[in-house]
Amino acid sequence: MLSEDKTSHLSHVVATAIKRHAAVRVVADDERMLKAVKRVVAAELAQEKEIDRKVKAKLASYSRGIIEGSAEWEVLYRKTFDEEIRKQAKV
């Protein structure tokens, strides 16, 4: 999870990139746009946190104990995490 400072910094970077993009014309004031970007960033981070929780619960439910942090666990975590991301994208 990102700290509030890092989330704010990321939001500013994204907002600046949006304003500089040639294909984008921003009609809202900077503060309003920044708030919208922050909402999107926060929503994405919350979704990622929820997916992380689901994946860890799923891996913990396997009958053979897979040690968290092991190479096998890392591979299964990434694979399962990617599957959950794809499921969310379909919804």
pTM of structure: 0.76
| 3-state secondary structure string across 27-86 | CCCHHHHHHHHHHHHHHHHHHHHHHHHHHHHHHHCCCCCCCCCCHHHHHHHHHHHHHHHH
> Nearest CA to 30 among 42, 19, 44?
19
Q: How far is 70 from 84, CA to CA, in rounded Å?
A: 21
- pLDDT given at position 4: 87
Per-run averaged pLDDT (10 residues), the chain, 91 residues: 87 91 84 91 92 94 88 95 90 66
- Each domain of the chain, given as residue ranges in start order, spans 4-90
Neighbours of 11 (CB within 10 A): 20
